[in-house]
Amino acid sequence: MAGNRPITVHSSCDELPITNVQKEYSENLFHALCAHSKYLCQTSNNDFGVDLKIEQLIVSQNGNSYHSGPELLSFQVKSSKNWELSNGNIKYQLDNKAFNAMVYRNQKNLNPLIVILCCLPEKHEDWIEYQNYTTLFTNYYWYKTDETELKENENSRTTVYIPSNQRVEKNTITQLIEMYNVQPIIG
């Protein structure tokens, strides 16, 4: 007993709530993709609608130390079992707060904020698929809007349609940096 309160001992570890599992799953997958592309992916300390950001890696003159440099791209990473394939698009209900974070960057001509959506199967056991000793990540998509009008009610959702050809693959990070003409600082 601790003071007058009984101590409860569990025979097994408590499990993470499924929403935390989804967040960890999708963000760690994105970190792996960034590492594969040789970019530094950082968790954003000040959210402001950004979960992860890719920063330029600056190497010291002696080549022994590394420092993160300017932000190249910012991402909001989502994972959901609530999505559907509709006419060649991924149909997803994106919360207006996330949508407005993208629009705000458009309004201010800042580096884009891109939503990464991990479309999860209903059953947790089906989230990762293995074939011939290869892990397959097949339901991972990126989305960016060019809209400049904010949604009024941030507590609502907006239906977005993500083209199914905007699948996140091992070279997507490099392609997005090139597509949005984000210029790394060479020095």
Confidence of residue 37 (pLDDT cuts 50, 70, 90): confident
Beta-carbon contacts of 78 under 8 Å, excluding residues fewer than 6 positions away, are: 26, 92, 94, 98, 115, 116, 117, 118
Least confident interval from 118-127, 141-150, 155-164: 118-127
- Statement: residue 129 has pLDDT above 80: no
Q: CATH second-level architecture of 18-179?
A: 3-Layer(aba) Sandwich (3.40)
Domain boundaries, the chain: 18-179
* CB 103, CB 143: distance < 8 Å: no
Residue 162: its pLDDT value, please?
97
pTM: 0.80
